[in-house]
A and B are shown apart, each in its own frame.
Chain A
Amino acid sequence: MNRKRKLQQLLKSLVQPLTAVLIGLLTGAVAISLVGASVLETYKVMWDGAFGNFYFVTATFARATPIILIGLGLAIAFRAGVFNMGAEGQMVLGAVSAALAALYVPGSGIIKILAALAAGFLAGGLWSLLAGWMETRFKVQLLISTLLLNYVAVLFAGYLVSHPFQDKSGSAALAQTPMIDQVAWLPKLFPGMSVHMGFVIAIVLAIILFIILRFTSAGYEVRMLGYNPFFAEYGGINKIKVLLYSMFFSGGIAGLAGTVEVLGSQYRYVEGSLTVPGYAWTGLMAALLANSNPLGTAVASILLAALQTGAMGMERNTEVPLEIASVIQGVLILFVTAKITMNWWKVKKKGRDIHGAA
């Protein structure tokens, strides 16, 4: 009986994201037929491009790695009821800090890697904490401060790699750090494939976060704060502390996303390499699609990465342009965020009402 109910609830929670995906695919189908291609064939090519053979699967996983981490970071913030829109800046600061740590911390490879991971996590975490602190101290809305801090972070990282820490070894003066020593690279999971240790880190982190959120008192406090901050406060939860911790870990994990990209895939920080592919926004979408469930976020991230790698395959093999993937993603965002914004709005409104009454 109880198991049946649980199953029902699970199915119910899947209805919304699946509907969004379905509508996204249908809209994509309309767009594909508008450019005059066969819908089924195009989707088949896309599928092959994402999961067609082992190589493509690993390429999809490699692309999913930063998206999963970003999504997990955001999921923590969303669970605590705050809208962290600053994943991009947190990721970039994490990436550049990790690159510099790997370059300049002396020691063996493992020490460099640990230092880089710590630096990336701290940089992203502290950057996010700054926004959290401004909210609790000066009531600067997180939604806005995190969004604006993105510009500061991205431009600052750009400055670092085009002036003090620029790679001057090559002939062309690109905005990038020197390449980090090979001993500090995260190992590839399979020789010749692009997926690296970062993917394992992301999956393990997803499982750990799932357990923490679900079974520990810290996770309970985060969830209750997100559900109803007044209830949390009434029950003796320290709102400010939980909010700041959530923001710190949220940004820290976003910083890790940048870190593993640097250590596992690019081996240096290159300006624009993390912002142009839109990892942060895809991660945001994954977290929203999965309603901030960490395991669901990982799955959604892989699906969205597949959409992107699949679209690349599609562009290689058909006349259909890459942008179809953006159309599908765009529709996904629309349908997923509709619900989220409504809920968020309701909570805000409730908050206003009580302040008005007091």
Chain B
Amino acid sequence: MTYVLEMKEMTKKYGEFLANDKISIHLKKGEVLAIVGENGAGKTTLMRMLYGLEQPTSGEIILNGRNVKFSGPLDAIENGIGMVHQHFMLFSDFTVTENIVIGHEPKRNGFFNRKAAAEKVKELSDQYKINVNPLKKAGDCSIGEQQRIEILKVLYQGADIIILDEPTAVLTPLEVEELLKTIEFLALQGKSIILITHKLPEVMKVADQITVLRNGRVTGNVLKQHTDVEQLATLMVGRELQKLTQRVQLDGEPLLVVDNLTIGGKEEKPILDDLSLTVHRGEIVGIAGVSGNGQSELILAITGLRKIDNGSIRLGETILDGTSVANRRSAGLAHIPEDRYLWGAAKEATVEETGLMGYYRKKTFNQSSFIRLNGFRELLKGWIDRFEIKTPSLDEKSGNLSGGNLQKLIVARELGFETDFLIAAEPTRGVDIGAMEYIHEAIIEKRNNGDGVLLVSSELTEILTLSDRIAVMYEGKIVDILNRKEATEEKLSVLMAGGN
């Protein structure tokens, strides 16, 4: 059997650190190969070597039976390898067509031939059933559309092997479905696809062959029909996943009560539209929704980071609306923010300083306005042990921590307040499976203790795993609230798209 692509014993060393240790993969024409692994497993390094962005320390790349070496992405593109990056690289002021043909524009008399370009794009879009509007500005396109532009760009450049780097991380469930169909169709048309991801259900839907990486090594290479999600997860993590703690049935009294909350809406459509929501003690309420339907604003309104135009917010007996952030926090609110770099930490601050936020006001750590750092350090070290936060020292700049480790620090800090109520927005974004388990465990434990949790997540599986009740947000309203038992991914997807 001939392969279109083989990578043999690829090794990449950064100083002493082995990012890739003799990794081999192979790919047939029209095949979908999924490369799965946790953050830091070496997926990205491997693909960067294939795409010419990094030079391997050793190993060889065999393309259509020829030994090749790429000095850069242009080289790779010439040889029919295209990559769709996780973060799109589009010019937002250019049209879809212009973005696709950029660098290889069709010309007439030396000038850019717009008409030919648009036709060419139309042709490609029909051939591969990838829907775009050629004349729209890229900046006005949704995330899903932008991704389709990137895929068309790669096809336009003549790629036969397409690398997709974590393509579903930013998509809504419906867009994911569509993308998976596109991938299947592309494979059917004879393109070979490399899908880099850590989302196993998607892998099980589209991949033919799966290579699992852990700590820079291959831990498994299997065909889809011979494996399942559990086996892949075990290969990824290196051990079997634990079953989540049993949830205790609790019928707590109302804790967070939001009534008729409204933001905006005088001249245009309101961002939050007369929204009411209750979280009881001993309950996790999950908010599902396509991002941009008011979830972020709801969190900011509850935590006091954004002004509201109407409505009331109560936590237990305390009225929150109109009070300061500090007041709300001391009334018993903790908050894992959705954007850890914007809200959750300061990159320039040390690990200790990022952890100290909020605690410096507590009597235990504040002696007539001098901060008792020694006492706090003990607490901080406890978090670092418990959550296995990897940092060279407490004085390391927070921005130098990996995203997952910083997230763990923030989660530890907010759980450490031991408040009655927790807002957890994207609590496991970017963390590896082991840490995700731990964070989920901690959130359920908090619930079982009789505290209330409001969970906002773009991962439907996370919402379904953790929530007791699931509220679906659409255009600033809660369109439905489902019980844990009745909620399914399908039902939620429909509601999230505004259907019934």
- The answer to whether B303 touches A234 (Cβ under 8 A) is yes
Most buried by B among A215, A234, A238, A350: A234
| Size class of the A contact interface (CB-based, 8 Å) | 20 to 34
- The answer to whether B392 touches A5 (Cβ under 8 A) is yes
Q: How far is the CB of B353 from chain A (nearest CB, A)?
A: 7
From 203 to 262 in chain A, residues with beta carbon under 8 angstroms from any chain B beta carbon are 215-218, 220, 223-224, 227-228, 230-238
A235 proximity list for chain B (CB < 8 A): 325, 329, 357-358
Per-position 1/0 for B399-411, Cβ under 8 A of A: 0000000000000
A218 proximity list for chain B (CB < 8 A): 369
A220 and B325 in contact (CB under 8 A), knowing A228-B345, A230-B342, A231-B344?
no
Per-position 1/0 for A181-217, Cβ under 8 A of B: 0000000000000000000000000000000000111
- The answer to whether B345 touches A217 (Cβ under 8 A) is no
Complex: how many Å from CA A224 to CA B358? 11
* Residue in contact with A224 in the complex, picked from B329, B330, B353, B370, CB distance below 8 Å: B353
For the complex, is A266 an interface residue (Cβ under 8 Å from B)?
no
A217 and B361 in contact (CB under 8 A), knowing A5-B393, A234-B325?
yes
B335 proximity list for chain A (CB < 8 A): 234
- Which residue of the partner chain B has the closest CB to A9? B395
For the complex, is B116 an interface residue (Cβ under 8 Å from A)?
no
Complex: how many Å from CA A184 to CA B178? 82
A9 proximity list for chain B (CB < 8 A): 395
A216 and B371 in contact (CB under 8 A), knowing A231-B344, A234-B305, A354-B342?
yes
Complex: how many Å from CA A6 to CA B352? 14
Complex: how many Å from CA A223 to CA B357? 11
Complex: how many Å from CA A224 to CA B353? 8
For the complex, is B17 an interface residue (Cβ under 8 Å from A)?
no
- The answer to whether A227 touches B344 (Cβ under 8 A) is no
* Residue in contact with B358 in the complex, picked from A223, A236, A358, CB distance below 8 Å: A236
* Residue in contact with A231 in the complex, picked from B297, B357, B395, CB distance below 8 Å: B357
- The answer to whether B346 touches A217 (Cβ under 8 A) is no
Q: How far is the CB of B481 from chain A (nearest CB, A)?
A: 26
- Which residue of the partner chain B has the closest CB to A347? B348
Most buried by B among A9, A215, A216, A217: A217
- The answer to whether B342 touches A238 (Cβ under 8 A) is no
For the complex, is B337 an interface residue (Cβ under 8 Å from A)?
yes
A2 proximity list for chain B (CB < 8 A): 393, 395
B330 proximity list for chain A (CB < 8 A): 236
Complex: how many Å from CA A140 to CA B371? 34
- The answer to whether A228 touches B348 (Cβ under 8 A) is yes
From 300 to 358 in chain A, residues with beta carbon under 8 angstroms from any chain B beta carbon are 350, 354, 358
Complex: how many Å from CA A218 to CA B369? 7
- Which residue of the partner chain B has the closest CB to A351? B342
From 317 to 344 in chain B, residues with beta carbon under 8 angstroms from any chain A beta carbon are 324-326, 328-330, 335, 337, 342-344
- The answer to whether B346 touches A236 (Cβ under 8 A) is no
- The answer to whether A217 touches B369 (Cβ under 8 A) is yes
- Which residue of the partner chain B has the closest CB to A236? B326
**29 A-B contacts (beta carbon < 8 Å):** A5-B392, A6-B395, A216-B370, A216-B371, A217-B371, A220-B356, A220-B371, A224-B349, A227-B347, A227-B349, A227-B353, A228-B342, A231-B342, A231-B354, A231-B357, A234-B305, A234-B325, A234-B337, A234-B344, A235-B325, A235-B358, A236-B328, A236-B358, A236-B361, A238-B324, A350-B342, A354-B342, A358-B297, A358-B306
